Amino acid sequence: MVAAMTFSIAGSGGTAYGVAVASKFLGVGSVVPGVTAGIGAVATQSFAKVSYKADALALLAAGASAADAVARITAADPLRETRQVGVVGTHDAATFTGTECMDWAGGRVGGDHLDGRYAVQGNILVGEQVVGEMERAWLDSSGQALARRLLAALVAGDRAGGDRRGRQGAALYVVDVEGGYDDCGVLVDLRVDDHPDAVTELARLLDLNDLYFGGPEDVEPLHGALAAEVRERLARLGFTGAPDEAGLDIALADWAGVENYELRLSPGGIDARVLDALRAATGY
């Protein structure tokens, strides 16, 4: 059971849904988040009842509102007063904090279908300011990708004092109806199971996730001086090709495959972040 401090946010952005969570609990990402693309997101915590996730998501899929889903899963639970849960669906968002959750405990909900909905909740926090700052960060990050909004809220809660017992685990899980590696629908699935500064480490991992799994951006054509530079740097790393454009593309693809940058490849050009990585690997 997750009896230790936990603060989380469940949120939506279009058909994408996700949960970000931090806790003084080992592997918190294995317990708290439950998400289904196009349906909703659930965060269960404070003596977490893991079945809340599947039960709430099933109710949402059947057309229930988030408020109704929360009311129904908690009504059927004799230990509901020890629980905390947040649910975001296509119609609304809802959060529940049982009367026996350890202080400070509570939550906030809001948003709409245009800007995304959110449910923020936490227990054993330093105070209400934690969820207040999480809500503010969510609202201030309007327009950003869902994963970035969820992380911004988590970082804000952590900086506001977060837990009363320390840090240990954090997680971020975001899905959509398409996208992600091989269009599997999973945009972000990151966990920090045991770390003294788990939220900061989670932010570092999200940057890497964006690098490795993001598509090409700020692509520069491989012509002239830039083509010569890229060819020379690749040769220093042992990747050479025929002295034409196709040969350069092949050499770049070979190196990118080793470094896991293949999703950022663009024939006849080079992604700005890939170029930065190549320069870093060979010295500016």
Amino acid identity of residue 117, one-letter, is: R
What pLDDT does 242 receive? 86
Position 180 confidence tier, pLDDT thresholds 50, 70, 90: confident
| Mean pLDDT estimate for the chain | 95
Cβ(7)–Cβ(122) below 8 Å:
yes
pLDDT at 4 over 70: no
Check pLDDT > 90 for residue 3. Answer: no
pTM, two decimals, is: 0.92
Span 16-25, average pLDDT: 96
Asked whether 198 and 170 are in contact (CB, 8 A), the reply is yes
The third-level CATH classification (topology) of the domain covering 6-213 is Glutamine Phosphoribosylpyrophosphate, subunit 1, domain 1 (3.60.20)
Looking at residue 5, what is its pLDDT? Answer: 64
pLDDT (tens digit, 9 = 90+) per residue, 127-142? 999 999 999 999 999 9
Q: Quick one: the chain helix, strand, coil %, rounded to 5?
A: 40, 25, 35
pLDDT band at 163 (very low <50, low <70, confident <90, very high): low
Tokens of 58: 């099933």
Q: With H, G, I as helix, E, B as strand and everything else as coil, classify residue 27.
A: coil
**Per-residue pLDDT, 22:** 97
Q: Can you tell me the mean pLDDT for 153-171?
A: 88
Residue-range domain boundaries for the chain = 6-213, 220-282
- The pLDDT assigned to 182 comes to 84
Strand order, beta sheet including 40-45: 33-36, 40-45, 84-89, 93-97
Q: What is the DSSP letter of 251?
A: H
Q: Residue 120: its pLDDT value, please? A: 98
pLDDT digits (tens, 9 = 90+) for 198-234: 999 999 999 999 999 998 999 999 999 999 999 999 9
> What is the model's pLDDT at position 241?
85
Give mean pLDDT, residues 83-95.
Answer: 97
- Pick 284 or 138 by higher pLDDT: 138
Q: What is the pLDDT of residues 27-86, one digit of tens each?
A: 999 999 999 999 999 999 999 999 999 999 999 999 999 999 999 999 999 999 999 999
